[in-house]
Amino acid sequence: MMHSAPPLPIVRSVADLRAQIGEWRRQGLRIGFVPTMGALHDGHMGLIREAASRADRVVASVFVNPTQFAPHEDLGRYPRQEAEDAAMLAGAGCHLLFAPDVETMYPPGAATTIAMAGPALGLEGDFRPQMFGGVALVVTKLFNLIQPDLAIFGEKDFQQLMVVRRFTADLDLPVEIVASPTERDGWGLALSSRNAYLSPEQLEIARRLNGVLAEAGVAAASGRPLPGVEKDAYAALLKTGFDRIDYVAVRRAEDLAVFRNQVADAPARILAAAWIGKTRLIDNMAI
């Protein structure tokens, strides 16, 4: 017989959230946090399990954060499925879901923004200039509300992970940032909420992204000059069926800086963003 997990408590107000967190704090429990925008999949469950292995209580948030989307982006189209999300979270060992509405996170009159340089510049920052300021703002707010001991971020959004590490240090937020490896399907496609937009034909194209990046990574590791590696990977992605490439780039793994000598002479990461129809996919891997 299958035993389903008990329903997950969901809180929507800051007062209810603080009451629960306060109780756990008084009991001396260690709190792990996994921020999400919902439309959860196995990739997120890996993050929840990671948090559960390191903390006594796991809090997840589901909040589709408007400040990290530009007006023309897919905020309105972003999938919303709270009941399914809550059931998955409960099954993976989550103890509490914080699912605020937009007015709770950004009440009328809210006037504070966070501007970031460093790892927020270039790559995603060139194509989605509002993204990392929005992520920094919402994650800082969530850290202040939840006061977790640790928070888990997926390597799938590698630049986001670097940005989170940066502002957590810069703003002296007392939260340990833990990276969790990208979960992939049987074809190596990085799991993403946006994969749900893909038709079967588009899915087939999407599944070739990781192979192209792996091949380019081998070329970069062999010492080939990076402009040629990046150009070939760009062409390979178009040939594979991607409609448009925002970037495919090899960067220093430590801080995402460009290699001055144009060869990968230190630990490197290859990162890409590419479009199939109206869907934008990102992926990255260590070289």
Give dist(CA 113, CA 167) in Å, integer: 13
- Closer by beta carbon to ligand PAF, 35 or else 148: 35
- C-beta of 196: minimal distance to ligand PAF in Å? 14
- Closer by beta carbon to ligand PAF, 243 or else 246: 246
- C-beta of 51: minimal distance to ligand PAF in Å? 14
Give dist(CA 96, CA 268) in Å, integer: 37
- C-beta of 61: minimal distance to ligand PAF in Å? 7
Whether 3 is a known active-site residue: answer: no
Q: Long-range contacts of range 86-90, CB-CB < 8 Å, 24 or more positions apart?
A: 86/7, 86/8, 86/10, 87/4, 87/5, 87/8, 88/40, 88/44, 88/45, 89/8, 89/40, 89/48, 89/60, 90/5, 90/6, 90/7, 90/8
The answer to whether 267 and 244 have CB atoms below 8 angstroms apart is: no
Query: Measured in Å, how far apart are the chain's first and last C-alpha atoms?
Result: 45
- C-beta of 62: minimal distance to ligand PAF in Å? 9
- Closer by beta carbon to ligand PAF, 34 or else 205: 34
- C-beta of 264: minimal distance to ligand PAF in Å? 27
Exposure b/e, 135-159, CB count within 10 A at least 16 = b? bbbbbbbbbebbbbbbbbbbbbbbb
Alpha-carbon Rg for the chain, nearest whole angstrom, is 19
Element (H, E) at 152: strand 150-154
* SS3 category, 185: coil
3, 41, 44, 72: the catalytic one is 44
What is the binding site for ligand PAF (CB under 6 A)? Answer: 35-37, 65, 68, 135, 138-139, 157, 160
- Closer by beta carbon to ligand PAF, 47 or else 213: 47
- Helices within 42-172 (DSSP H only): 42-54, 82-92, 102-105, 124-127, 131-146, 158-170
What is the set of active-site residues?
44
